[in-house]
Structure 1
Amino acid sequence: MADVQKIATRVSYGEALVELGAQHDDFVVLDADLAAATQTGKFKAAYPDRFYNVGIAEGHLMSMAAGIATTGHVAFASTFAMFAAGRAFEQVRNSIGYPHLNVKIGATHAGISVGEDGATHQCNEDIALMRTIPGMTVIVPADDVEARAVVRAAYELEGPVYMRFGRLATPVINDPETYSFELGRGMVMREGTDVTIVACGLMVGRALEAAEQLAGEGISAEVINIHTIKPFDDELVIKSASKTGHVVTCEEHSVIGGLGAAVLDALAPTCPVPVRKLGVNDVFGESGPAVDLLDKYGLNAEGVIKAVREVLA
């Protein structure tokens, strides 16, 4: 995939906000002194009167966004995933989730691919945290095309939304001319009969790479992109698992409480098939180049292939 265009979804987030701002004037963007990194600085440059930098105060960021939402405006609150889901969890839960306010959380720099920033900034727990909040929608776009669509969908949806974006530039795997985002509906990216690979975020592209290589070994892998972790597309996953009889889940997140857990929740009552969860195995991250870290933790095509062989065995 060397020739495929690569774009970080955090860049897509910033550019999508600017595009959305030209169409609607009933939303504001807030940031916690990270506008260059989260890419919301682009919105600030275009619409300075609708941008607020609250400083390094993430709890205040979420509380202020909640207050603005009570006035009838939509509020996009942006910071790193570690701070949005971790440091400000109480404010997200009590001030945004509990009253079901129209706040859209743009959480960038999620997962192990934050790289050199190390364990303190590599948030591998945010999906687990956010999906426990009643009424919270959780979305993990796979590429630039999907990320832009997610921002628009979040704006149109009534209620709180958590959007997870990455720092690392990743391949664009969707065609902007044909792509259509539907909240809560997974997408079959490749059909197969032997094993179902369910992925989200940057792992979707790696799952597709793995499926191509597996085909050369005579293994037919179905690849599903679950961009919406909550609400979850139980129907699609159960249908695929019933056909293939084996499932591998792939996520740049802890194996505890994330996509893999959501898949197991869906399958256990009616379709108990063998499942192998690929993710971060209950450890903290470490500093290093993003791609090297993904390789070390098995979050690559080779890791997906290994997991498929294990589940088939």
Structure 2
Amino acid sequence: MPEGHSVHRITRQFALHFVGKTIAASSPQGRFAGGASEIDGLEMTDAKAVGKQMFLEFDHRLWLRVHLGMYGAWDFAGNITADATTASAGGRMGQTNQRGTVVPDDNEPSLSSIGAPRRLRMAEQERLGEALDTFPPEPIGAVRVRLLASDTVADLRGPTACEVLQPEEVQAVIAKLGPDPLVDDPDEGRARFVDAAIKKATPIGLILMDQNVVSGIGNVYRAELLFRARLDPHKPGKLVPRETLEELWADWTYLLGVGVSTGQMMTMDGLSHEDYVNALARRDDRHWVYHRAGKPCRVCGTPIVMEVAAGRKLYFCPVDQT
């Protein structure tokens, strides 16, 4: 499932290429025909993300709420000629380091040198596709909703949620979500997270995945945050010291910023330039414990454990996190 950084990056593409333009909305698949007709012909006036959910505003009165879930993805096509995040603008989407250096890959040219209209897929991974011969391209597959601006089109497939809401309905949805470091005031967000987590008897490994407690954290960031804090994922939230919870919030703020800037869930610090470039190119080289079941801990050498918690795979070191 796309985690918070991916949804923020997708939303920034809408802010860059769609906000301020009149949008032709349709449902090639047919399942969202009614909702598409409500926003068809309206101007997109805002685009924002809270955790794993995104909200697109039309003419200051209607909102399109989208939750990608496990299978959803946006495909952009047309004038996608620059990354919407400043730190990555000099290189390929999701494959630049924090200094903007491009990782060589003949299959994915830099967005800054595309020239012709291109396709761009955005979900957990971002992939730049072939040049377009015509614009807009024909919808491919089960496109739930198509949003067409003057020179850019976005196709949504497979979302968990896709609905048109009134402003008060949007506020009701957001009110139920935990704080997002890129949305909430830093001090207020930290206080909301800590105050909620410290009251729970639930294991901290489950609390971090609870979108009502904190927004945007998924399976990867959960495992990495806990390891970076050397925190046992089974420890109840009420037994985690307040200062440790505050440090978790600070680290989530940091990692989310890195994810938005690079397009990658880069969770290892202190790497050499060569190791950093390798980590951006290969997921196995950018995480401490995630997806490393049975492999030696990078710190102590103990095999990393994987267990299922609430239907999701949880990775941790049984030595460094106890």
TM (norm. structure 2) is: 0.28
Larger Rg computed on CA atoms: 2
Structure ranking higher in helix proportion: 1
TM (norm. structure 1) is: 0.29
